[in-house]
Structure 1
Amino acid sequence: MWDDSSSPAPAGVAGVLGRSRAELLTQLDGPRSTTERAGRTGLTPGGVSQHLSALRADGLVTAHRAGRAVLYARTSVAEALLEAAKFS
């Protein structure tokens, strides 16, 4: 069982990115694989992969290969976006 005590995605971010992408971005508190993200969100691995690819294209996440897995992490742009959303 995992600790899913992270805060929900800010409404403003969800309004722009969509609920699933905002949730993925908010919960991506450290490098995680698509499979790990799918297990934590209830989305399919394919769905998570599509969302993370879109977030990567927008400069909000980075991807790094670690053996057979690709690990995704938030960029400084995503960190700033989430921080700014706390105060809106």
Structure 2
Amino acid sequence: MIIYLARGSGTLWQPEPLPAPGALAALLGAHRAGLLARLDTPASSTELATRLGVTTTAVNQHLRALRAGGLLVSGRHGRSVLYRRSELGDRLLAGSGQPER
């Protein structure tokens, strides 16, 4: 019997690099631009922090700034708050030449 591990399981707990669009990163900063690019589907700050290998507090600071700028919307889902790009965030990302994920 030959047993193979599931593909990609060795990198499951490694932080994922943020894709930061060039011009957008210059405007917002690499971390905020990367978060904006990543939030095509709703995610909580805890989930994002775990994926990126940073603290929840750091992610929350960036999410608050992006939401205050109208680039994100948030909504409560059970005990979590989920964030996703707003229509303005989608347009800004599309105008930067960065393909949406």
What TM-score, normalized by structure 2, do the two folds share?
A: 0.77
- Root-mean-square deviation (CA, aligned residues, Å) is 2.1
Partner Cα distance (2:57, 2:67) in 1: 15
Select 1:69's aligned residue among 77, 80, 88.
80
Q: Taking every aligned residue pair, what percent have the same amino acid on both sides?
A: 47
Residue in 2 aligned with 1:81?
92
Quote the residue 1:36 is aligned against. 47
Runs of 5+ unmatched residues, structure 2: 1-11
Structure 1: segments with no counterpart, 5+ residues: none
- Deviation at residue 29 of structure 1 after TM alignment: 1.8
1:15-40 superposed Cα distances (whole Å, 9 cap, x missing partner): 11111111111111201000111112
Structure 1 counterpart of 2:57: 46
| 2:82 alignment partner AA | L
Higher helix proportion: 1
Tell me which of the two structures has the higher relative contact order, counting C-alpha pairs closer than 8 angstroms and 6 or more residues apart. Answer: 1
Larger radius of gyration: 2
1:7-18 to 2 correspondences below 5 Å: 8-18=19-29
Q: Which runs of 4+ in 1 moved over 6 A?
A: 4-7
- The alignment partner of 2:20 has SS state of coil
SS of structure 1 residue aligned to 2:31 = helix
Question: Is the Cα–Cα contact under 8 Å of residues 17 and 52 in structure 2 kept in the other structure?
Answer: no
CA contact (8 A) 2:18 2:52 kept: no
Deviation, 1:5, is: 8.5
- Alpha-carbon separation, structure 2, partners of 1:34 and 1:21: 13
